[in-house]
Amino acid sequence: MKLTAKLKLQPAPEQFDWLMATLAEANSCCNAISETAFREKTFKQFALHKLVYKACRGQFNLSSQMVIRAIGKVADGYKVSRKKQRGFSQRGAFPYDARILSFNLAQQTASIWTVAGRQSIPFVGSDPALARLQGERGESDLCFVRGQFYLAVSCEVEVPEPMEVDGYLGVDMGIVNIATDSDGHQYSGSQLLGIRGRRFRQRRRLQAKGSKSARRVLQRLSGRERRMVRQENHRIAKEIVTRAQRTGRGIAIEDLKGIRDRVRVRRAQRRQMHGWSFHDLTQKILYKAALQGVPVQVVNPAYSSQTCAVCGHCDKKNRPSQSQFRCRSCGNADNADSNAASVISGWAVINQPHDSMPMVASG
């Protein structure tokens, strides 16, 4: 499994300037390549290499491999869209491979190519990030974020065989509670939702101003909010995986394709629905579970909110309110999210996606 190790570089002042100059030169090269690629309608890496390599080697203060990586970056950019010419920021991340970047793990330094030649630069990272470096390493990105240089290193990590499980911990995702499991435990993220509400009002005031300084503040707030959401998703995913592992269960999560179109919420909650990264939370559950050997089943959630976890009766009238579930057949009463999580857990136990829909009550 591939994971990213984030390392913070600690360059000397002189090295900091060289790294900055390297990013600027490399991205200038990318912009020149992009202009040619768009003009000539040549977007494949091999054909683009033949078209621009020689000219770029003469025009830019970059090594052969740096030019090759610049061509690759441009070609990758045009895989997304070819409708308009791609532009690259002077401080945008730039890819490095083993020919232009190596590591001394004992001394915790990175030998990285710059416009001033190879530089040996110390780095620091979290314990999990440093552990990932011990395995097979792929491409890295040199990034400049909020005044600091980082390396984002793609690492191949060995994962254990999935453990034998006794049932599944079902997880239902929602708005009032970001996630609820089939044990009834709720992961609300309420503190963060409150902060995001205040930030939303602050953004509206700044947008009304429309000044350059207001736009800079908006950009900073947006980045800070994304980081907070990712951190909260890390916390929630870790708790869910730990609970499942501790109790000898797998995890059953809902297939979130189309969740924003499928789920109906009150107008006041639409911003929360569209602002929360459910995909990010799902991905964090998947990779954290894989690292711990906890199997995960992705279940079709259709009708899970209307189905009784006790008797299986499905009826939209089983939901007298958004938060309540009361089965019209057996009388089972529960929190709606908790009931849905239990339904998802039950569907995973049969060890297959829930392709056949339950019988829906009429009338």
Establish how many alpha carbons lie within 13 A of residue 172's alpha carbon, considering only the half-sphere containing its beta carbon. Answer: 33
Domain count of the fold of the chain: 2
Q: Does residue 147 share a domain with residue 172?
A: no
pLDDT at 279: 86
Rounded Cα distance between 222 and 142, Å, is 22
Q: Does residue 271 share a domain with residue 341?
A: yes
Residue 23 has pLDDT above 90, yes or no: yes
Q: Does residue 266 share a domain with residue 347?
A: yes
pLDDT at 245: 97
Instruction: Average the pLDDT over 80-90 and give the result.
Output: 94
Q: 234-290 pLDDT, tens per residue? A: 999 999 999 999 999 999 998 877 554 445 555 544 544 444 578 889 999 999 999
Rounded Cα distance between 152 and 301, Å, is 35
Residue 300 has pLDDT above 50, yes or no: yes
The answer to whether 199 touches 272, Cβ cutoff 8 Å, is no
pLDDT at 350: 76
Q: Does residue 187 share a domain with residue 81?
A: no
Secondary structure class of 38 (helix, strand, coil): helix
Q: Does residue 91 share a domain with residue 177?
A: no
The answer to whether 142 touches 27, Cβ cutoff 8 Å, is no
DSSP for 72-115, please give it: HHHHHHHHH--SS-----TT--EEE-TTTEEEETTTTEEEEEET
What band does 164 get if pLDDT is binned at 50, 70 and 90?
A: very high
Instruction: Average the pLDDT over 135-154 and give the result.
Output: 96
DSSP for 273-333, please give it: HHHS-HHHHHHHHHHHHHHHT--EEEE--TTTTTB-TTT--B-GGG-SSSSEEE-TTT--E
Last residue within a domain, chosen from 94, 128, 156: 156
Instruction: Average the pLDDT over 310-324 and give the result.
Output: 92
Number of H helices, E strands in the chain: 10, 14
Q: Does residue 123 share a domain with residue 191?
A: no
Q: Mean pLDDT for the chain?
A: 87
Q: Indicate if the alpha-carbon torsion angle 222, 228, 232, 233 is positive or negative.
A: positive
Last residue within a domain, chosen from 156, 185, 206: 156
Last residue within a domain, chosen from 138, 156, 174: 156
Give the chain's radius of gyration (CA, Å): 25
Residue 346 has pLDDT above 80, yes or no: yes
Closest to 153 measured CA to CA, from 213, 107, 110, 122: 110
What band does 362 get if pLDDT is binned at 50, 70 and 90?
A: very low
- DSSP label of 5: E
* Torsion-angle region of 214 (φ positive above 0: left; ψ -120 to 50: alpha; else: beta): alpha
Contacts of 357 (CB under 8 A, 6+ apart): 302, 303
The answer to whether 262 touches 312, Cβ cutoff 8 Å, is no
What band does 193 get if pLDDT is binned at 50, 70 and 90?
A: low
| Greatest distance between any 2 Cα atoms in the chain | 79
110, two tokens: 């990175």
User: Residue 85: which domain range?
Assistant: 2-156
